[in-house]
Structure 1
Amino acid sequence: MRIAIISDIHANFPALEQTLKSIEEQNIDAVYCLGDLVGYNVCPNAVINEIRKRHIPTLAGNHDVKAVEIHNDGSNDIESYAYQIVGKEQVRYLSALPAHLKLEYQAADKLIKILMVHGSPYSNKEYLLEDKNEKDFTNIFLDSKADILICGHSHKPYHLILTNPNKKGSYYHAVNAGSVGKPKDGNPDGCYAVITIDKSSNLSKKDGIKVEFIRVPYDIEKTVRAIEESPLPNIYGFMLRKAY
C-alpha cells in the first residue's frame, strides 16, 4: 500500500495541479489531504473543486476553519480577501471536514495504527516541529495510541523515528508531509509524502516504515503574478519564491 499525503495547498491551484500529475506517476493506492486548502492565494475554489472531484479524504486545516468563520461573521475587510473569495458551496464543504483521520493496516504480526491530523491531535493550530522534545512527542503517541502520526501545518517536511518508551525495540514514526502550495523549508517546489506499508512493514525496525518526500516544480512566477494582480499583499508572492 502506497499512500500519498498532501497538505497546505493554500489556494495554489498550479502547484496542486502539478502535484496530482506527479502522484499519478507514482503508483499510488490512496491519497489523503491534511487540510489548509485556502488562504494566501487566489484559487481557493479551484483547489476545493479539484479535491472534491477526486474524492480525496480531507481534514479541516486552521485556514479552512477561518474561512468558514469569516463567512459566518460577514467580514469584508481587505485582510480577509483570501477567505472572502471562497464560494458558498465551497464554504459548506469546508465546514463539514473532520479534524482527524484514523487508518489501520495489518502488517507482519501487528495492526499498524495511523493517525492523520492537520496540526496536532489536540489542535489544528499546534505545530509539531521536528525538534520537539522527544518525551513530549512520544507522549502524544501514547495518548493517541497511534504508531504513525502524520501532520502538516508547519510546511516543513520530516520523518522522525522515535523509540517507544513502553515497548523495547519498537518505534513510532512522525511524518510531516510538508506543503504543496506554500513550502517554508527554503525549497520553493511543492512537496508531498509517500508512505509505503505492506505485509513486511515492521515497527520493530527503525526502517520498518518507508517514507519518501517528492518535490514538484511548477510555474511559480505565473502564480506570483496572479497574487500581485490581486488585492492580496505582494509579500505572499515573495514568500513563494523564497519558500519561507
Structure 2
Amino acid sequence: MRLAIISDIHSNVDALQAVLADIRASDVQHVVCLGDLVGYHTFPRETLAVLRDSEIRSVHGNHDLMAVGRLPRDDCGPVARKAIRWTQTVLTEEDRHYLASLPSELYPQRSILCVHSAPGDPLVRLRTSGQFYGEYLRIGESDPEVRLCFTGHTHVARAMTITPRGDVLCPLERDITLDPAAFYFVNPGSVGCPRDGDYRAAYAMLDCGAQRLSFRRVNYDPTRVLREDRRHGIRVEFGPFVRRSLRSRTLAAVRRVARLIDVLP
C-alpha cells in the first residue's frame, strides 16, 4: 500500500488540487490529512468540497477547531485571527458539521499514528529534540505498537528518528528507508502555506510494503489565491515566502550556470 500524507492546506484549494493531481499520478491507495484544512487563505468552502468529494480522511487542526468555536482565537496571531473571523462568515452548516466531526487522531495502520501536532494537543509545536523525545515516551506508554507518527502544524517538512542510540534528523533530499527497530516522527510540510522558503506545495509519501518514505514538492501558480486574500484584506505571510523562494531558486540557477561556464573550454 502507498500512503500519501498531506497537512496544513489552510484554504489554499489551488495548492491542494495540484498535490492531489501529483498523488493520482503516483499510484497512491490512501490519503490522510493532518488537519488545518481552513484558515489563512480564502477558499475554505472550495477546499472542504474537494476533500469531501475525494473522500480524504483527516484529523482536526487548531484552525479547524477555531473555525467552529472549539478553540479561542486568542491562541493565534492577528492575521490568523482575521482569517478565522472571515472564514466563519462563509462556512455553510455542512462545512461546520464536517469540521466539528473530525477526529483528533487516525491510524492508517496499527503502527502508524496521524495527529495534527501531538497526541491530545493540537497547539504544541514539536521542534526540539527534547520535545520529540518526550512525545516518543508518552506514545510508547499509551500505544507501544506505534512506530511512526505523522505530525503537522509547523509547516516545515522534517523527519526525526529516535533509536536506542539517540535522535537523528533524517535528510529530506532523498528517500528514507525506515528501520523497523526505530521510531519516527514525520512532518510532511504544508500544502497551502509552507514556511521553509519554498512556496511549492509539500507532502509526504510512504510505501508501506517497502517501508520507503519520500518528501514531495509540487509546483503550482499561487497568484489567484494571493489575489483573493488581498481582496478580502488578509495579508498572509505566505507572500514573503513566495518571493524568498523564487529569489533563492533564481540565485541557485544562476550559480549552476556560472559553474557550467567555469568548466567550459
TM range (shorter): 0.7 to 0.9
Shift of 1:177: 1.2
Moved more, 34-43 or 84-93: 84-93
Query: 2-side partners of 1:78 and 1:181: how far apart?
Result: 17
Q: Aligned pair in 2 of structure 1 residues 132, 154: CA closer, same or farther (>3 Å)?
A: farther
SS in 1 for 2:96: helix
RMSD: 2.6
Deviations, residues 97-145 of structure 1 (Å, cap 9, x unaligned): 00000233xxxxxxx6111000101201111226445642431341332
Query: 1-side partners of 2:136 and 2:128: how far apart?
Result: 12
Match of 2:9 in 1: 9
Query: 2-side partners of 1:163 and 1:234: how far apart?
Result: 38
Match of 2:140 in 1: 142
Query: 2-side partners of 1:235 and 1:34: how far apart?
Result: 21
Query: 2-side partners of 1:224 and 1:43: how far apart?
Result: 11
Equivalent residues in 2 for 1:210-221 (5 A)? 210-221=212-223
Query: 2-side partners of 1:137 and 1:72: how far apart?
Result: 24
Query: 2-side partners of 1:162 and 1:58: how far apart?
Result: 26
1:69 aligns with 2:74: no
Match of 1:83 in 2: 88
Query: 2-side partners of 1:235 and 1:7: how far apart?
Result: 18
Counterpart residue identity of residue 108, structure 2:
L
Shift of 1:193: 0.3
Shift of 1:236: 5.2
Match of 2:101 in 1: 96
Match of 1:174 in 2: 185
Query: 2-side partners of 1:223 and 1:241: how far apart?
Result: 15
Contact conserved, 1:41 with 1:227, CA < 8 A, in 2? Answer: yes
Query: 1-side partners of 2:89 and 2:164: how far apart?
Result: 45
The normalised TM-score by structure 1 is 0.82
Contact conserved, 1:177 with 1:192, CA < 8 A, in 2? Answer: yes
SS in 1 for 2:94: helix
Contact conserved, 1:227 with 1:237, CA < 8 A, in 2? Answer: no
1:121 aligns with 2:119: yes
SS in 2 for 1:69: coil
Equivalent residues in 2 for 1:166-205 (5 A)? 170-198=181-209
SS in 1 for 2:106: strand
Q: Aligned pair in 2 of structure 1 residues 130, 55: CA closer, same or farther (>3 Å)?
A: farther
Deviations, residues 7-54 of structure 1 (Å, cap 9, x unaligned): 100000110011110101111111111111100111000000110011
Query: 1-side partners of 2:8 and 2:191: how far apart?
Result: 6
Shift of 1:86: 2.0
Contact conserved, 1:100 with 1:117, CA < 8 A, in 2? Answer: yes
User: Unaligned regions of 5+ residues in structure 2, if any?
Assistant: 74-80, 166-179, 246-265
Shift of 1:72: 11
SS in 1 for 2:149: strand
Deviations, residues 64-88 of structure 1 (Å, cap 9, x unaligned): 0000008999xxx956113322222
Query: 2-side partners of 1:84 and 1:239: how far apart?
Result: 27
More helix by share: 2
